[in-house]
Amino acid sequence: MIMEEKHISVLGSTGSIGTQTLEIARAYEHIKVRALSARSNIRLLEAQAREFSPELVCVADESKAAELKVKLADTPVKVVSGKNGLIEAACIGGADTVVTAVVGISGLEPTVEAVKAGKNIALANKETLVTGGHIVTKLAEENNVKILPVDSEHSAIFQSLQGCRDKREIKRILLTASGGPFFGKKRDELKNITPRDALKHPNWDMGAKVTVDSSTLVNKGLEVMEARWLFGTKNIKVLVHRQSVVHSAVEFCDNAVIAQLGAPDMRLPIQYALTYPERLPMKGNELDLFAYRDLTFEEPDTETFFALTLAFDALGAGGIMPTVFNSADEAAVDMFMRGKLSYLGISEAIEKAMSKIKNIEEPSLEDILETDKAAKEFVFGME
């Protein structure tokens, strides 16, 4: 099959999603890399730049950028840094799609600028839609760009919706959750959880922040808010599905439920976002349904994992509350990882920030960035 060339910019190319995106680019000749970016891992970024020959690489950390500039002096690759550099990478001429695989709200501004520049977005950075969903989806419509989900659940929903011509046919979204490493435990059993415990995920190999978020169900909460913007409904049901085989489903008005199943492997949703509407062959990791005796579905324990209830509260309140939820969590996870906050303290910090900070309806980008700062300062202030 001869494929039309695809030109991508990868924001966060040294991370879990970023490296798997490059695995796909390595496998498919027609996928060309125009820009790469990392926060500080210049050793890997240099290797990636030499392999994929992008025009530009961005390093968020300025002093590391200077170091990389010296290392890449024998190549034509331009090295930029900081927030403006990330925006330059997101808007690079010649790229048609931006893979947003940075972690946290740092993905929001570059994505907004990329959409304004007419780039399609392969969206892994859920924080973008959680905080600025109303802005990004409106801009995407105005600029006629696609937002293609990379998050496995949202990709599953998107795949299940192929062939659905009228969104009013969707009754509800069935969002599956693995339940994380502490499934079945009660609150008092979680008091002494350490970062090491929280970094062990049963089914997925992901970056540290999203792994901790998966264990608290904050990640599922963020995904509920992400789904709201991607699929235009707040009617979302979370189901704990320990095997991570059914990646999510859509229930339609005639009660049909269409789901996407597969082995837990992020390369499929990443690849589908890059090749949509086509499907291309993928080596390895076929789903062997005979290997699973049972596929189980359970209600989440929202008494223990109360962050999920807070996420639904934020979804219901709308406005700036999803940003407060997200940013309080970013700060709280950071503190937890440094041993400055207990495990249950993460969800408690979100709860406190949400009750402390007043809602703003239809927040502007500036409101979102200010609230991000305020929520983080509030949580860091608890140290």
Which residues bind to ligand NDP, rule: CB under 6 A? 12-18, 37-41, 60, 86, 101-103, 106, 124-127, 151, 204, 206-210, 266
Q: Which does 12 bind (CB under 5 to 8 A by kind): Mg ion, ligand NDP, none?
A: ligand NDP
Q: Which does 302 bind (CB under 5 to 8 A by kind): Mg ion, ligand NDP, none?
A: none
Planar angle of CA 149, 312, 378, nearest 5 degrees: 95
Of 203 and 342, the one with the shorter C-beta distance to Mg ion is 203
DSSP annotation of 187 reads G
Of 61 and 351, the one with the shorter C-beta distance to ligand NDP is 61
Instruction: Tell me which residue has its CB nearest to ligand NDP.
Output: 15
Beta strands in the chain (DSSP E): 6-11, 31-38, 56-59, 78-81, 97-100, 120-123, 147-149, 170-177, 236-240, 246-252, 257-261
Of 40 and 309, the one with the shorter C-beta distance to ligand NDP is 40
The residue among 222, 231, 183 whose CA lies nearest residue 203 is 183
Of 17 and 31, the one with the shorter C-beta distance to ligand NDP is 17
Q: CA 312 to CA 300: how far, in whole Å?
A: 13
Q: Which does 125 bind (CB under 5 to 8 A by kind): ligand NDP, Mg ion, none?
A: ligand NDP
DSSP annotation of 284 reads S
Name the minimum Å distance from CB 113 to Mg ion.
25
Q: Which does 38 bind (CB under 5 to 8 A by kind): Mg ion, ligand NDP, none?
A: ligand NDP
* Chain positions contacting Mg ion, by CB under 5 A: 151-153
Structure token digits, residue 308: 């999920």
Of 102 and 341, the one with the shorter C-beta distance to ligand NDP is 102
Q: Which does 323 bind (CB under 5 to 8 A by kind): ligand NDP, Mg ion, none?
A: none
Structure token digits, residue 9: 């910019």
Name the minimum Å distance from CB 195 to Mg ion.
20
What number of helices (H) and strands (E) belong to the chain? 15, 11
Of 137 and 358, the one with the shorter C-beta distance to ligand NDP is 137
Burial class (CB in 10 A: 0-12, 13-18, 19+), 244: buried
Burial class (CB in 10 A: 0-12, 13-18, 19+), 360: middle
Name the minimum Å distance from CB 261 to ligand NDP.
17
